[in-house]
Chain A
Amino acid sequence: SQTIHQWPATLVQPVGSPLSLECTVEGTSNPNLYWYRQAAGRGLQLLFYSVGIGQISSEVPQNLSASRPQDRQFILSSKKLLLSDSGFYLCAWSVRGSGVRATEAFFGQGTRLTVV
Chain B
Amino acid sequence: AQSVTQPDIHITVSEGASLELRCNYSYGATPYLFWYVQSPGQGLQLLLKYFSGDTLVQGIKGFEAEFKRSQSSFNLRKPSVHWSDAAEYFCAVGAPTGFQKLVFGTGTRLLVSP
Same complex origin of A and B: yes
* Interface residue? B51 (CB, 8 A): yes
Provided the pairs A41-B106, A43-B105, A44-B90 are in contact, do residues A103 and B43 lie with their beta carbons within 8 angstroms?
no
Provided the pairs A49-B99, A107-B43, A110-B43 are in contact, do residues A100 and B51 lie with their beta carbons within 8 angstroms?
yes
Q: Across the two chains, which residue of chain B brings its CB closest to A110? A: B43
Q: Which of A43, A102, A108 makes the CB contact (< 8 A) with B104?
A: A43
CB distance from A96 to the nearest CB of B (A): 9
* Interface residue? B19 (CB, 8 A): no
CB distance from A67 to the nearest CB of B (A): 19
Number of B interface residues at 8 Å Cβ cutoff, please give it: 27
Mostly helix, strand, loop or mixed at chain B's interface? loop
A102–B49 Cα distance when bound, in Å, is 13
What are 27 pairs between A and B in contact, CB < 8 Å?
Answer: A6-B43, A36-B104, A41-B106, A42-B106, A43-B90, A43-B106, A44-B44, A44-B90, A44-B104, A46-B101, A46-B102, A46-B103, A49-B99, A92-B44, A99-B100, A100-B32, A102-B100, A103-B94, A103-B102, A104-B32, A104-B46, A105-B102, A106-B46, A107-B43, A108-B43, A110-B41, A110-B43
Residues of B at under 8 Å CB distance from A? 6, 9, 32, 34, 36, 41-46, 49, 51, 90, 94-97, 99-107
